[in-house]
Amino acid sequence: MPELPEVETTRRGIEPHILGKTIQRLDIRQPRLRWPIPKQLDACLTGKHIQNISRRGKYLLITVTGGTLIIHLGMSGSLRILKHRQAAGPHDHVDMQLSGGTLLRFTDPRRFGAWLWTSDPVDDHPLLSSLGPEPLSNDFDTEYLHRSAQKRKVAVKPFIMNSHIVVGVGNIYANEALFRAGIHPARAAGRISRQRYGLLVASIKAVLREAIEQGGTTLRDFVSGEDSPGYFRQSLLTYGRTGAPCKNCGAPIREIRLGQRSTFYCGHCQH
Protein backbone atom coordinates (compact mmCIF):
# COMPACT_ATOMS: atom_id res chain seq x y z
CA MET A 1 0.00 0.00 0.00
CA PRO A 2 2.22 2.76 1.10
CA GLU A 3 4.44 4.66 -1.23
CA LEU A 4 4.97 8.36 -0.68
CA PRO A 5 1.53 9.40 -2.02
CA GLU A 6 -0.17 6.89 0.27
CA VAL A 7 1.83 8.08 3.27
CA GLU A 8 1.08 11.72 2.44
CA THR A 9 -2.61 10.84 1.99
CA THR A 10 -2.49 9.16 5.40
CA ARG A 11 -0.85 12.22 6.94
CA ARG A 12 -3.49 14.53 5.53
CA GLY A 13 -6.23 12.12 6.50
CA ILE A 14 -5.33 11.80 10.16
CA GLU A 15 -4.03 15.33 10.81
CA PRO A 16 -7.38 17.11 11.33
CA HIS A 17 -8.49 14.36 13.71
CA ILE A 18 -5.43 14.21 15.96
CA LEU A 19 -3.69 17.62 15.83
CA GLY A 20 -3.93 19.38 19.19
CA LYS A 21 -5.40 16.34 20.93
CA THR A 22 -3.97 14.84 24.09
CA ILE A 23 -2.74 11.24 24.09
CA GLN A 24 -4.56 9.47 26.88
CA ARG A 25 -3.34 5.94 26.46
CA LEU A 26 -1.45 3.60 24.16
CA ASP A 27 -2.73 0.08 23.73
CA ILE A 28 -0.01 -2.14 22.25
CA ARG A 29 -1.29 -5.61 21.41
CA GLN A 30 1.65 -6.72 19.28
CA PRO A 31 4.99 -5.00 19.95
CA ARG A 32 6.91 -7.12 17.46
CA LEU A 33 7.03 -4.99 14.32
CA ARG A 34 10.13 -4.49 12.17
CA TRP A 35 11.81 -3.46 15.39
CA PRO A 36 10.20 -4.02 18.78
CA ILE A 37 8.06 -1.09 19.89
CA PRO A 38 10.12 0.52 22.68
CA LYS A 39 8.92 -0.45 26.14
CA GLN A 40 8.94 3.16 27.28
CA LEU A 41 6.86 4.46 24.35
CA ASP A 42 3.66 4.44 26.37
CA ALA A 43 5.28 6.54 29.08
CA CYS A 44 6.79 8.91 26.50
CA LEU A 45 3.42 9.61 24.89
CA THR A 46 0.82 9.44 27.63
CA GLY A 47 -0.46 12.85 28.63
CA LYS A 48 1.33 14.63 25.78
CA HIS A 49 -0.23 17.04 23.29
CA ILE A 50 0.12 16.38 19.57
CA GLN A 51 1.83 19.44 18.17
CA ASN A 52 2.57 18.50 14.59
CA ILE A 53 2.09 15.73 12.03
CA SER A 54 4.71 15.73 9.29
CA ARG A 55 6.39 13.34 6.87
CA ARG A 56 9.97 12.59 5.85
CA GLY A 57 10.07 10.17 2.94
CA LYS A 58 7.70 7.42 3.98
CA TYR A 59 8.15 8.09 7.69
CA LEU A 60 5.26 9.76 9.49
CA LEU A 61 6.43 12.04 12.29
CA ILE A 62 4.09 12.85 15.16
CA THR A 63 5.64 15.55 17.30
CA VAL A 64 4.58 15.84 20.92
CA THR A 65 6.04 17.75 23.84
CA GLY A 66 9.47 16.28 24.45
CA GLY A 67 9.99 14.22 21.35
CA THR A 68 8.70 12.59 18.19
CA LEU A 69 6.88 9.38 17.42
CA ILE A 70 8.28 7.91 14.18
CA ILE A 71 5.84 5.67 12.31
CA HIS A 72 6.56 3.66 9.18
CA LEU A 73 3.78 1.75 7.43
CA GLY A 74 6.08 -0.84 5.86
CA MET A 75 4.48 -2.91 3.10
CA SER A 76 1.04 -3.45 4.54
CA GLY A 77 0.51 -0.92 7.31
CA SER A 78 -2.32 1.56 7.61
CA LEU A 79 -3.62 4.09 10.10
CA ARG A 80 -7.20 5.04 10.55
CA ILE A 81 -9.37 7.13 12.80
CA LEU A 82 -12.17 5.52 14.76
CA LYS A 83 -14.84 7.72 16.28
CA HIS A 84 -16.85 4.82 17.57
CA ARG A 85 -15.79 1.75 19.44
CA GLN A 86 -14.82 -1.11 17.14
CA ALA A 87 -13.39 -4.48 18.17
CA ALA A 88 -9.72 -4.95 17.28
CA GLY A 89 -8.89 -7.51 14.61
CA PRO A 90 -5.87 -9.82 14.60
CA HIS A 91 -3.64 -7.29 12.79
CA ASP A 92 -4.70 -4.21 14.74
CA HIS A 93 -1.43 -3.94 16.65
CA VAL A 94 -1.60 -0.49 18.25
CA ASP A 95 -4.39 1.85 19.38
CA MET A 96 -3.70 5.43 20.42
CA GLN A 97 -6.54 6.76 22.53
CA LEU A 98 -6.93 10.52 22.21
CA SER A 99 -8.91 13.15 24.05
CA GLY A 100 -12.46 13.66 22.82
CA GLY A 101 -13.06 9.97 22.16
CA THR A 102 -10.92 9.69 19.02
CA LEU A 103 -8.88 6.55 18.44
CA LEU A 104 -5.93 6.21 16.06
CA ARG A 105 -5.57 2.54 15.08
CA PHE A 106 -2.51 0.97 13.43
CA THR A 107 -3.08 -2.16 11.36
CA ASP A 108 -0.25 -4.08 9.70
CA PRO A 109 -0.67 -7.73 8.63
CA ARG A 110 2.93 -8.22 7.55
CA ARG A 111 4.44 -6.30 10.47
CA PHE A 112 7.13 -4.59 8.41
CA GLY A 113 6.03 -1.29 9.89
CA ALA A 114 7.60 0.55 12.81
CA TRP A 115 6.67 2.67 15.83
CA LEU A 116 9.76 4.33 17.29
CA TRP A 117 10.50 7.19 19.64
CA THR A 118 13.17 9.87 19.69
CA SER A 119 13.64 12.79 22.04
CA ASP A 120 16.42 14.22 19.86
CA PRO A 121 15.90 16.43 16.80
CA VAL A 122 14.14 13.99 14.52
CA ASP A 123 16.42 14.57 11.53
CA ASP A 124 19.31 13.28 13.67
CA HIS A 125 17.67 9.88 14.09
CA PRO A 126 19.78 7.14 12.41
CA LEU A 127 16.88 6.13 10.16
CA LEU A 128 16.41 9.68 8.88
CA SER A 129 19.85 11.27 9.03
CA SER A 130 21.22 9.84 5.79
CA LEU A 131 18.09 10.03 3.65
CA GLY A 132 18.17 11.73 0.26
CA PRO A 133 16.10 14.81 -0.60
CA GLU A 134 12.32 14.93 -0.80
CA PRO A 135 11.33 14.31 -4.43
CA LEU A 136 8.89 17.22 -4.45
CA SER A 137 11.39 19.69 -3.01
CA ASN A 138 13.65 22.03 -4.95
CA ASP A 139 16.66 20.10 -3.64
CA PHE A 140 15.70 17.26 -5.96
CA ASP A 141 16.62 18.56 -9.38
CA THR A 142 18.35 17.56 -12.62
CA GLU A 143 21.77 18.62 -11.43
CA TYR A 144 21.52 16.65 -8.19
CA LEU A 145 20.29 13.41 -9.76
CA HIS A 146 22.71 13.52 -12.67
CA ARG A 147 25.65 14.20 -10.37
CA SER A 148 24.60 11.42 -7.97
CA ALA A 149 24.49 8.93 -10.85
CA GLN A 150 28.03 9.52 -12.08
CA LYS A 151 29.90 6.22 -12.53
CA ARG A 152 27.05 4.25 -10.97
CA LYS A 153 26.56 0.91 -12.67
CA VAL A 154 23.36 -0.01 -10.89
CA ALA A 155 20.21 -0.04 -13.04
CA VAL A 156 18.38 3.28 -12.98
CA LYS A 157 15.22 1.79 -11.48
CA PRO A 158 16.80 0.51 -8.23
CA PHE A 159 18.88 3.71 -8.28
CA ILE A 160 15.84 5.97 -8.02
CA MET A 161 14.28 3.59 -5.47
CA ASN A 162 17.32 4.03 -3.20
CA SER A 163 16.21 6.23 -0.28
CA HIS A 164 19.74 7.55 0.13
CA ILE A 165 19.46 9.03 -3.37
CA VAL A 166 15.87 10.26 -3.17
CA VAL A 167 13.14 9.27 -0.73
CA GLY A 168 9.65 8.07 -1.44
CA VAL A 169 9.94 6.49 -4.89
CA GLY A 170 8.60 2.96 -4.51
CA ASN A 171 8.10 0.20 -7.03
CA ILE A 172 4.85 1.42 -8.60
CA TYR A 173 5.91 5.02 -9.16
CA ALA A 174 9.46 4.10 -10.23
CA ASN A 175 7.97 2.07 -13.09
CA GLU A 176 5.55 4.84 -14.00
CA ALA A 177 8.13 7.63 -13.89
CA LEU A 178 10.61 5.73 -16.08
CA PHE A 179 7.89 5.06 -18.64
CA ARG A 180 6.93 8.72 -18.78
CA ALA A 181 10.58 9.70 -19.19
CA GLY A 182 11.15 7.07 -21.91
CA ILE A 183 14.05 5.51 -20.00
CA HIS A 184 14.65 1.76 -19.93
CA PRO A 185 14.57 0.60 -16.28
CA ALA A 186 17.65 -1.62 -16.66
CA ARG A 187 19.86 1.11 -18.13
CA ALA A 188 22.91 1.81 -15.95
CA ALA A 189 22.34 4.96 -13.90
CA GLY A 190 25.74 6.34 -14.91
CA ARG A 191 24.95 6.04 -18.61
CA ILE A 192 22.04 8.47 -18.83
CA SER A 193 22.49 12.01 -20.08
CA ARG A 194 21.86 15.10 -18.03
CA GLN A 195 19.05 16.04 -20.37
CA ARG A 196 17.31 12.71 -19.85
CA TYR A 197 17.71 13.07 -16.08
CA GLY A 198 15.83 16.32 -16.49
CA LEU A 199 12.94 14.37 -17.98
CA LEU A 200 13.15 11.78 -15.22
CA VAL A 201 13.12 14.35 -12.41
CA ALA A 202 10.07 16.01 -13.96
CA SER A 203 8.36 12.63 -14.40
CA ILE A 204 8.98 11.58 -10.80
CA LYS A 205 7.57 14.87 -9.51
CA ALA A 206 4.58 14.71 -11.83
CA VAL A 207 3.63 11.12 -11.08
CA LEU A 208 3.91 11.64 -7.32
CA ARG A 209 1.91 14.89 -7.45
CA GLU A 210 -0.84 13.31 -9.50
CA ALA A 211 -1.00 10.29 -7.21
CA ILE A 212 -1.24 12.51 -4.13
CA GLU A 213 -4.02 14.53 -5.77
CA GLN A 214 -5.92 11.32 -6.38
CA GLY A 215 -5.32 10.01 -2.88
CA GLY A 216 -2.81 7.34 -3.79
CA THR A 217 -3.16 4.07 -5.60
CA THR A 218 -5.12 2.61 -2.71
CA LEU A 219 -7.57 4.99 -1.12
CA ARG A 220 -8.87 4.86 2.40
CA ASP A 221 -11.70 6.57 4.16
CA PHE A 222 -9.95 7.56 7.37
CA VAL A 223 -13.07 7.98 9.42
CA SER A 224 -15.06 4.93 8.50
CA GLY A 225 -12.07 2.72 7.73
CA GLU A 226 -13.65 1.46 4.56
CA ASP A 227 -11.16 0.62 1.82
CA SER A 228 -12.06 1.64 -1.69
CA PRO A 229 -10.17 1.32 -4.98
CA GLY A 230 -7.56 4.05 -5.39
CA TYR A 231 -8.30 6.36 -8.26
CA PHE A 232 -4.67 6.45 -9.33
CA ARG A 233 -4.79 2.75 -10.17
CA GLN A 234 -6.63 3.52 -13.39
CA SER A 235 -3.87 5.97 -14.33
CA LEU A 236 -1.10 3.35 -14.22
CA LEU A 237 0.57 2.97 -17.60
CA THR A 238 2.91 0.05 -16.88
CA TYR A 239 2.53 -1.34 -13.37
CA GLY A 240 0.78 -4.71 -13.42
CA ARG A 241 0.04 -4.46 -17.16
CA THR A 242 2.28 -7.29 -18.42
CA GLY A 243 1.28 -8.21 -21.97
CA ALA A 244 -1.29 -5.43 -22.25
CA PRO A 245 -0.78 -2.89 -25.04
CA CYS A 246 1.36 0.14 -24.30
CA LYS A 247 -0.98 3.12 -24.16
CA ASN A 248 1.49 5.09 -26.25
CA CYS A 249 2.47 2.69 -29.05
CA GLY A 250 0.45 -0.51 -28.60
CA ALA A 251 3.42 -2.83 -28.10
CA PRO A 252 2.95 -5.33 -25.25
CA ILE A 253 4.23 -4.21 -21.85
CA ARG A 254 7.13 -6.39 -20.74
CA GLU A 255 7.94 -7.67 -17.28
CA ILE A 256 11.42 -8.37 -15.90
CA ARG A 257 12.97 -8.51 -12.44
CA LEU A 258 15.42 -5.88 -11.24
CA GLY A 259 16.78 -6.03 -7.71
CA GLN A 260 14.21 -8.72 -6.90
CA ARG A 261 11.35 -6.37 -7.78
CA SER A 262 8.84 -6.73 -10.60
CA THR A 263 9.62 -4.24 -13.32
CA PHE A 264 7.29 -3.22 -16.14
CA TYR A 265 8.22 -1.28 -19.26
CA CYS A 266 7.59 -0.79 -22.95
CA GLY A 267 10.47 -2.11 -25.05
CA HIS A 268 9.49 0.22 -27.87
CA CYS A 269 9.08 3.49 -25.96
CA GLN A 270 11.82 3.09 -23.34
CA HIS A 271 15.56 3.01 -24.11
Partner DNA sequence: AGAGGTACCTGGCAGC
Partner DNA sequence: TGCTGCCAGGTACCTC
Least Å distance, CB 215 to DNA, is: 11
d(C-alpha 165, C-alpha 29), whole Å: 35
Count of residues touching DNA (by CB under 7 A) = 42
Residue whose C-alpha is closest to residue 98's, from 6, 21, 5: 21
Among the listed residues 67, 109, 198, 252, the single contact to DNA using CB under 7 A: 109
Q: Which long-range contacts (CB under 8 A, 24 or more apart) does 250-257 make?
A: 256/185, 256/186
Q: Which residues contact 138 (CB under 8 A, 6 or more apart)?
A: none
Least Å distance, CB 248 to DNA, is: 22
Nearer to DNA, 95 or 108 (CB): 108
Among the listed residues 13, 57, 133, 185, the single contact to DNA using CB under 7 A: 57
User: Among the options 48, 58, 80, 196, which is catalytic?
Assistant: 58
User: Among the options 3, 6, 8, 176, which is catalytic?
Assistant: 3
In the region spanning residues 243 to 262, those forming contacts with DNA, defined by CB under 7 A, are 259-262
52-23-118 Cα angle (round to 5): 60
CB neighbours of residue 124 within 10 Å: 9
Instruction: Respond yes or no: is residue 257 known to be catalytic.
Output: no
Sheet of strand 59-64: strand arrangement: 50-56, 59-64, 67-72, 114-118
Least Å distance, CB 231 to DNA, is: 11
Among the listed residues 41, 45, 61, 74, the single contact to DNA using CB under 7 A: 74
Work out whether 172 is an interface residue with DNA (CB under 7 A). Answer: yes
CB neighbours of residue 176 within 10 Å: 26
Work out whether 58 is an interface residue with DNA (CB under 7 A). Answer: yes
Instruction: Respond yes or no: is residue 176 known to be catalytic.
Output: no
d(C-alpha 99, C-alpha 45), whole Å: 13
Work out whether 230 is an interface residue with DNA (CB under 7 A). Answer: yes
User: Contact residues for DNA (CB under 7 A)?
Assistant: 1-3, 6, 32, 34, 57-58, 72, 74-76, 90-91, 109-112, 126-127, 151-155, 158, 161, 163-164, 170-172, 189-190, 216-218, 230, 259-262
